[in-house]
Amino acid sequence: DSRIGTENSVSSLIGRNNATSFQKKTRSKLVSIPGTRPSVQNGQLIVSTGVTSLDYVIGGGLAVGTLLLIEEDQSDSYSQMLLRYFLAEGVVCGHELFLASAQDHPENIMQMLPSPILDDNVSTDQGDRPPTPLHLHDPDAMKIAWRYQNLPKFQTTFGSSLFGHCYDLSKPMEQQVRQAAKCHTFYLPEEKTAAKESSHLTGPYAGLLQCIQALIQKEGFDGSSSQCTVRNVLRVCLHSLGSALWGDDLCCSESPTHYHALTTFLYALRALLRSSLSVAMVTVPSHLIQVRVVIMERITKLSDTTLTLESFQGSEKETNPLYKDYHGLLHIRQVPHLNCLLCAIPDTKDLAFKLKRKQFTIEKLHLPPDLSESVSRVSKVELPGCGPTSKHLDF
């Protein structure tokens, strides 16, 4: 009986607490899995994506049992980065990983994980720490406008570092750290090509689904083995589903032979995730799919959170002064509806991402300040989308 499904996993984890209302709430009753916490909004068990600003944007984190779909940017560079962040967070939190790919060998992807920055500010236990008081000997201590010293620094990025970790993209993760994690891989060219005939799922994904289901059952993520003492979360990463390398012809033909293979696979994957302690990230090269509108709409409906990365690489937006601070736009197509009527609604949908030397961040899109010498109040740079501005105002 897999009643320890994801939806009631939090309530089953939290013991009966018959404390009086004056007692301080302690989290000790919660059989906590490292790297997870109950969501502030609806109490669901959530995990971090590895990018704290992304967690903030999608409502705190990924709820366990849900599927995050990422529509790849054209060169698949930023989406693969998110995939690596997701895996790295799993490694640091001690989660089990499942990585499937048809293009790069999973081992190669694992070698490129970013290195975690484990300073004192970041901790694996999610205790609510007060912000560290500023030291008096701090060379940056304010001498004049000292009143402002204790105010929080102005931040354009979202998120706090209390949940999830920071990573340094310029350094690869150390090998010992990486190998401590339990990672299951699926590399399509090395798998046995003959899928079992007994399966009703035809097409390229039958083997993959069998592999995931066997793993979930064997390792007890579905709660079937109640004796299992250590509960853990499984992070499932599927790279570039729907691409031609998976043997799918969605990208090559307008009337593919396995028209429903990908959607049927995602449906079954959704069912597996919902009844186990697992969370999935799937990337799809949506710009390649031929009958894109119909297929992507269906895929979106079958996943929970859907994001689109629109990179400026090679597009005319690259040189646009409006976007000069950013490397691309992030569109939130869908937010999850799970166990609640009202989903987490983002404050704004105008989001952009940028890649700094060591870090990938998501920010609220805003106009850059006009600081140039020749800033003329009369003839501004005409920004696209603002419409024609009249040069003179007659009163």
Partner 1 sequence: MFPELNSILNTSPDNFKEREFIVLSDKQADASFLIHHYLTFYLRARCKVCFLGLVQSFSHYSAVSQRLGVNLTQAKEKGQLVFLEALKASPGVLLNKGTSDGIQTFDYLRSPFPELRGLFEFVHSSLTESGDDDGKPWGPPVLLVDDLSVLLSLGVSVGAILDFTHYCQATICSQLPGTMVVLVRRDEEWDEEEYSSGHLLQGVTHQCSLSLHVEGLSTGFCRDIHGQVAVWWRKRGQSAQSQRKIFQYKVHDKGASFFARGTSSAVL
**Residues engaged in binding partner 1 (CB under 8 A):** 5, 7-8, 198-202, 209-210, 213, 259-260, 263-264, 266-268, 270-272, 274-275, 291, 293-294, 297-298, 301-302, 337-343, 345, 347, 349
Residue type, 233: V
Residue 118 or 271: the one with the smaller Cβ distance to partner 1 is: 271
In whole angstroms, the minimum distance from the beta carbon of 82 to partner 1 comes to: 23
The total of other beta-carbon atoms located within 10 Å of residue 89's CB is 26
Residue 50 or 65: the one with the smaller Cβ distance to partner 1 is: 65
In whole angstroms, the minimum distance from the beta carbon of 326 to partner 1 comes to: 20
Residue 299: which H helix or E strand, with range? Answer: helix 292-302
DSSP for 83-131 reads HHHHHHHHHHHT-EEEEEESSS-HHHHHHTPEEEE--TT--SS---PPP
In whole angstroms, the minimum distance from the beta carbon of 296 to partner 1 comes to: 9
Residue 80 or 305: the one with the smaller Cβ distance to partner 1 is: 305
SS3 64: coil
Residue 114 or 223: the one with the smaller Cβ distance to partner 1 is: 223
In whole angstroms, the minimum distance from the beta carbon of 95 to partner 1 comes to: 22
Residue 145 or 293: the one with the smaller Cβ distance to partner 1 is: 293
351: which DSSP letter? E
In whole angstroms, the minimum distance from the beta carbon of 281 to partner 1 comes to: 19
CA distances from 50 to 159, 163, 169, 306 (A): 11, 9, 12, 17
Residue 112 or 338: the one with the smaller Cβ distance to partner 1 is: 338
In whole angstroms, the minimum distance from the beta carbon of 100 to partner 1 comes to: 16
Distance CA 129, CA 41 (A): 20
Q: Return the beta strands (E) in the chain as ranges.
A: 36-38, 45-47, 62-63, 67-71, 96-101, 114-117, 166-172, 183-187, 234-238, 278-284, 305-311, 328-334, 351-355, 360-364
